[in-house]
């Protein structure tokens, strides 16, 4: 294909900014529907360090009403938290009617960081895995629509992004002690992720995997996927079609095929 033809075909593709704006309009429609019908949406965003959770959340919330939209990003648990029911500190942040809540990491910290870094005991880990699905079933029974996304990136991409954090003065707030050992524990995190999927993915509480090496594609397709999953009479059905190569429901075969980073 000639350079002229390539440019012509590329020019027919909507720009990232235009596509994002159109999808954010769809989110505003969804929020209006959510408010009108007293609905509750909870979105969990998990993934490796530097997977792009902050970027997805920023694009989700950019034009939504701050009164009905909350972002939850909890710090390390306090002594009080450590001596309380594990889910207790998350319960107070659940959405009430008319609200959308996005959690930047969630109770699945216990199946990821805490498991890999030894911040919880084997007994606490097993208790979590036995309790989490009944807990999530209880949430759905209370009317909360729960969506679980895992942003997956390759080892090389994580190295690049972590290096960028260390040298970019505008990203210093993202640097943490956990970052320093993320690559060292790559295989441990992979094993923890795979066990989490195997034991907490069900038809009623599924995991959606997001291939996030390309940040922009990940952001657009998470929004598309959410819109495809919710009832919203005013939504543009054509816009709510995610790329199945970017966002897909977890299945063992995706791990074997390499669709999920090993």
Distance, in Å, from the CA atom of 192 to the CA atom of 90, rounded to the nearest integer, reads 21
3-state SS, residue 25: helix
Residue 9 pLDDT more than 60? Answer: no
- Residue 212: both structure tokens together: 């996030």
Q: What is the pLDDT of residue 83?
A: 96
Residue 2 in any domain: the answer is no
pLDDT digits (tens, 9 = 90+) for 22-58: 999 999 999 999 999 999 999 999 999 999 999 999 9
Q: Which of 6-20, 84-98, 206-220 has the lowest mean pLDDT?
A: 6-20
Residue 149 lies in a domain: yes
Please report the pLDDT score of residue 172 as a whole number: 82
To the nearest 10°, report the CA torsion of 37, 38, 39, 43: 130
> Please, what is the average pLDDT of the chain?
94
Looking at residue 5, its pLDDT comes to 41
10 lies in a domain?
A: no
Q: Please report whether residue 3 resides in a domain.
A: no
pLDDT at 173: 80
The arithmetic mean of pLDDT across residues 85-111, rounded, is: 98
Neighbour-count burial for 82-96, b at 16+ CB within 10 Å, e otherwise: eeeebbebbeeebbe
Pairing state between β 69-72 and 207-211:
unpaired
**Number of folded domains in the chain?**
1
12 inside domain: no
Rounded mean pLDDT of 163-191?
Answer: 89
Q: Give the domain range for residue 246.
A: 18-257
According to the model, what pLDDT value does residue 70 have?
98
Assigned domain for 208 exists: yes
Task: State the CATH number of the domain containing residue 165.
Answer: 3.40.50.300
CA atoms within 13 Å, Cβ hemisphere of 211: 16
The two three-digit tokens of residue 230, written as one number: 């919710």
pLDDT over threshold 90, residue 139: yes
> Has residue 168 been placed in a domain?
yes
Q: Establish if 262 belongs to a structural domain.
A: no
Looking at residue 3, what is its pLDDT?
45
Could you tell me the pLDDT band of residue 12, with boundaries at 50, 70 and 90? low
Q: How confident is the model at residue 161 (pLDDT cuts 50, 70, 90)?
A: very high
């Amino acid at each position: 294909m000639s350079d002229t033809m390539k440019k012509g075909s590329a020019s027919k593709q909507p720009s990232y900014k235009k596509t994002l704006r159109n999808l954010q309009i769809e989110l505003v429609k969804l929020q209006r529907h959510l408010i009108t019908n007293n609905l509750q949406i909870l979105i969990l965003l998990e993934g490796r360090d530097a997977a792009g959770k902050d970027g997805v959340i920023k694009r989700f919330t950019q034009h939504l009403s701050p009164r009905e939209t909350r972002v939850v990003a909890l710090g390390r648990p306090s002594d009080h938290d450590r001596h309380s029911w594990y889910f207790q500190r998350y319960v107070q942040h659940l959405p009430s009617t008319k609200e959308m809540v996005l959690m930047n990491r969630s109770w699945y910290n216990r199946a990821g960081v805490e498991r890999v870094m030894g911040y919880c005991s084997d007994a606490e880990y097993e208790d979590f895995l036995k309790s989490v699905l009944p807990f999530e079933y209880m949430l759905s029974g209370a009317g909360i629509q729960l969506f679980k996304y895992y942003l997956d990136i390759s080892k090389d991409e994580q190295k690049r992004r972590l290096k960028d954090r260390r040298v970019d003065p505008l990203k210093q707030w993202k640097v943490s002690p956990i970052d320093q050992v993320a690559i060292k524990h790559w295989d441990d995190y992979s094993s923890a992720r795979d066990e989490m999927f195997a034991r907490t993915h069900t038809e009623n509480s599924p995991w959606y995997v997001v291939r996030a090496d390309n940040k922009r594609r990940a952001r657009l397709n998470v929004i598309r996927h959410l819109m495809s999953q919710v009832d919203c009479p005013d939504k543009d059905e054509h816009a709510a079609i995610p790329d199945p190569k970017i966002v897909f429901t977890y299945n063992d075969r995706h791990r074997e095929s390499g669709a999920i980073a090993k």
